Every structure is written in C-alpha cells, then in structure tokens.
Amino acid sequence: MSSERFDYLVIGSGIAGLFAAIKAAEKGSVALVTKRKLFDCNSVYAQGGISCVMEGINKKDSFESHIKDTLDAGAGLCNKEAVSVIVNGAPECIADLIELGVKFTKRGEVEDDCTIEESDKYDLGKEGGHSRRRILHAGDVTGEELIRALVKVCREHEDIKVFENHHAIDLLTTSRLGWGDENNQCMGAYILDVDQDKVKTFHSNITILATGGAGKVYQYTTNPDIATGDGVAMAYRANAQIANMEFFQFHPTCLYHHKTKSFLISEAVRGEGAVLKIKKRGKYVEFMDKYHELKSLAPRDIVARAIDRELKETGEKCVYLNITHHPVEVLQKRFPSIYEKCQSLGIDMAKDVIPVVPAAHYCCGGIKTDLKGRSSLDRLYGIGEVACTGLHGANRLASNSLMEAVVLANNAVEDAHKRNQKCNGAAIIAQFNSIPDWSRGNATDSDEQVVITHNWQEIRSFMWDYVGIFRTTKRLQRAKRRIRNIQQEINHYYWNFVITPDLIELRNLACIAELIIDSALSRKESRGLHYNSDYENTSNAVLETIIRRR
C-alpha cells in the first residue's frame, strides 16, 4: 500500500484550495488533491464576481458600507468580527490574485452605463443586497478566469504536487487510530486513487479542507455533480464541530428549460436592472414590490421565497427575468456566456424574457472555524464553502463567498505556518511511521449499482420536498425518518462492498442530508434561509446551531 507525505495536504481545487496551495507552497511541500480534474470545481461556475471595497475606484463605497450590507443580509446572525476581518482583508488578496494573473474586466472593456467613471480602473458590478458597486468580475465568467489563472500557477509550481482523480475517503486522526481522544489531531487522510483503484495514505503536518459545497443533496441545484459535501461529512466523522447547516441558500434564478440543467442566471443580471415578473392572464406582471423595498434586488432568501410563493399561488412552473431595456450590444459584452446560452435555446435576452426558478445554490453552514480557518480538530483547517466562519449569518450576501475563500485561505496558511514552526518535527515523523495502511477487510465487489442510484435519487427528492425553501416541523420529522433508514442501508453497503467514488459520495451526501435536517429541527424560528411555517417569528434566535458527532 503506497503512502505520501507532505507539509500541507490541500483537498479541493476551487478558488480556496488553489489559492491556499499557492500560498502554502511558499512555506513547504504541498499535495493538492482533487477528486476529478483541477477545473472540476464549483468555483469555475461563478458568474457574478468577487466583492471588494476598491478604495480610490468607487469613491462612494466604504468598508463600513460593505459591512452593513453583509450584516443586513445575514438577518442578525452574522459574526460581526468575522464580517469586519474578512471585508477589510479582501483588497490585499485581490491584489495577490491580480499579481497571479487574474484579469478582471476594466472600464474600457464594457461600453455602457453599467460602469463607473475612470476608464483605466476596474468595472464594478452591483448585485442583490449591495448598496454600492463593488463586484469585480471577468465578464460573466469570473470563476472560470480565476480558476484558469490559479490552475496555471499550481501546475507550474515545483513545490505543489497535483493529484487528480483522487477521492478523499476519511481523515486520519489520532482518535481514529486509537491513540487517545485527548488533543485529537488530524494527520492526513485516506484517499482513493481512482485510476489505480487503490487507497493511499496521505500524511501531512497540516490538512486544509477546501472541498466546496453540497448542492447535490437537493434535486434542483445550480451546483455541478462534484458538490456532494465531502469535506463537511469527513470533518463530522472526525468529530469536528459543524455549524448552521440549516442555512442553505437557494439561488432565485436558475434557467428553466427542458434542454439544460443547473445553468445559473447571475444575480448581476438583476444588478444591471433586470426585473422579475410572473405570467398572469397572458401578461408579465412585476411582483417583488409586494415583498421588499429593493424589489428584484432584495436579498436572495427573500427573492427565492417570493418566487416559491408566487409559483404555488398561480400554478405557474417558472417566473421570468426581463432585461430587454438594454440593447443587444450591451448584453453581449456584459453577459457573453449567459447571452450565448440563452441564444442557443432560442431566447434573445434583448427581446425575450428569461424563464427562471429557484435552485439550491450555497451552503452557509459547514465546518465551524475561526477567522484563521482553524476547526475544532487540531491541525485541520476549513476554507471556502466547506467552512462556517460566521460571515454569512442566516443568508449570504451575493459575491461574498469568493471574497471569504481567498481571505480565509490566506489567513489559514499564515496560521498553519506558525503552527508548523512550533511543532516537534521528530515526534510528528515518528507518529506518521506508525500509521496503518487502509484495510478493505472482507469487502467484496458488487454489481448493485442500482442501490446507490436509488438511494441518491431518494435523498435528493425528499430533501427538495421536505427540507427546501418552505419547511414545516412535520416535514422535517418525515425527512428524519427517511434518512435514518437510508443511512442504515448505506452503512451496511459501505462496510461490506468495495469502495467506489459513487459509494463515497453517497455516504457523504446522506451525512449532509442528516446534518441539515437535524440543524433545521433544532432552530425553533424562521430566519434568513431557514423558513419553518410553524415558527414564523425570530424571537427564539440562537447565534449558531452546533452539531458534533457523539
């Protein structure tokens, strides 16, 4: 059985993982592990951009304004210190991204009234919940540009070893290895080399989880197939604290068309004036004025619930975005990929309304970390969507996620480097040498793929119906009974048959579903992204919902 040893083990290749790997490579050897290819990550699909107060560019903006907008969107549950630290830390990280080769759109590259003055400066967009223009973007393919630049650096860096098609199974901890529960520490991970069909032991002084989100736990999602909550599930099984999993954000505007799935219509489209409408008696009618003073630019939780309510009241299958007030030239330049996608489906954004529905988009909860990315498990860090810093509270402000990812990646590596310097290297190596290889036990091959497929589909279906935008206690209890039964089946299957990527993801997905259900049941109020019609007030607020494996 083969093993690998590194100073830093980074699991995940989204913006958080790539940025962390680059920063960590300045301090020591890095293993960058991803279960598919480096480009197969959730970050690559980010359209809108990355929020940051750009001093000297938009003189009307300020850190105080950005902090206020974030706190307002978070429905009273944001960690104020987290908001301040991350918002103020963004400019330095943006400068690093630009130095690494990221090309954000500048003023002269978009000739319309969507931009600010000063032609040699960056074009700043505006999205729902933001009171000022502060969204740096690369057209409407910001994530793709970020990943392009960072992947290039990672592939060329001599101290970063990339492991593609390597699927993390479980974290290595001193407790798991039977070395006592006191000061439980993470020492790496067991990882399946998919191409060679064998499990490797990865030893590391520091493990950084950057595995992204868990949107595939729901039937309808903007997330790609890789978003199965692997990092949160692994951390939970390793006894790390998990926070606020009930706050799952549903993006209001996923393209509704039978020829495509999971295609996001960026919030930036509404930021540039698109208006939500619903079809009534043959006419397209605005409706968001009934729900919020910001109308179509209201925070995402409010917009998603409003759309859900309108669809249920009218029986319509979708609502519509109207941005026909902009000429075709403007739309093609500002939203090239969205325009092209719509055009391929027979929708001309300059003339036609765009059919949209809400879909699961972003997990505001995750591994509970501090502002240096430290989890409750020693030597384990969480960054990006896998982590819960308290920045988002009960609802994420648009484009704050990429900002958080780079700031926390930077903070985590700085802290981990200091932690490494204080470690007793000889003692660590001695511990590594006694770590046992993975044992498959009596597991046998199975041709029962239908079991995995059926359980996967069932989880996603009842999570959408019972634990979605609109919840009740009875629905949550029904979902809890269902997930218990499925968990028993999965555990039996997991310990008796050979490990495969599909089985690893199913096991993690079931864990995520149960964490969301249990967190939702424990919050006796409606707030932000969590709406339970049995508790329609916000008088029973608790700052965090914490779950830890018993």
Catalytic residues: 300
Residue 222 contacts residue 401 (beta carbons within 8 Å)? no
* Listed residue (188, 59, 74, 197) closest to 132, CA to CA: 59
Per-residue burial over 405-442, b if 16 or more Cβ lie within 10 Å, else e, is bbbbbbbbbebbbebbeeeeeeebeebbeebeebeeee
Q: How far apart are CA 4 and CA 203, in angstroms?
A: 6
If one counts every other C-beta atom within 10 angstroms of the C-beta of residue 348, the result is 13
Residue 91 contacts residue 62 (beta carbons within 8 Å)? no
Q: How far apart are CA 371 and CA 259, in angstroms?
A: 42
How far lies 312's CA from each of 278, 281, 315, 536, in Å? 12, 16, 5, 19
Q: How far apart are CA 525 and CA 530, in angstroms?
A: 8
Provide φ and ψ at 512, rounded to 5°. -60, -45
Q: How far apart are CA 21 and CA 406, in angstroms?
A: 11
Enumerate residues 6+ apart whose C-beta is below 8 A from 321.
253, 265, 269, 270, 274, 275, 276, 277, 353, 354, 356
Q: How far apart are CA 232 and CA 240, in angstroms?
A: 9
Q: How far apart are CA 46 and CA 16, in angstroms?
A: 13
Q: How far apart are CA 430 and CA 136, in angstroms?
A: 47
3-state secondary structure 412-444: HHHHHHHHHHHCCHHHHHHHHHCCCCCCCCCCE
Q: How far apart are CA 367 and CA 353, in angstroms?
A: 40
First to last CA, the chain: 31
Structure tokens at 136: 């740096």
Provide φ and ψ at 90, rounded to 5°. -65, -45
Which DSSP helix (H) or strand (E) runs through 203?
Answer: strand 198-209
- Amino acid of residue 215: G
Phi-psi region of 86 (alpha: psi -120 to 50; beta: other; left: phi over 0): alpha
- Amino acid of residue 479: A
* Listed residue (46, 236, 3, 32) closest to 154, CA to CA: 32
How far lies 247's CA from each of 252, 394, 432, in Å? 15, 6, 38
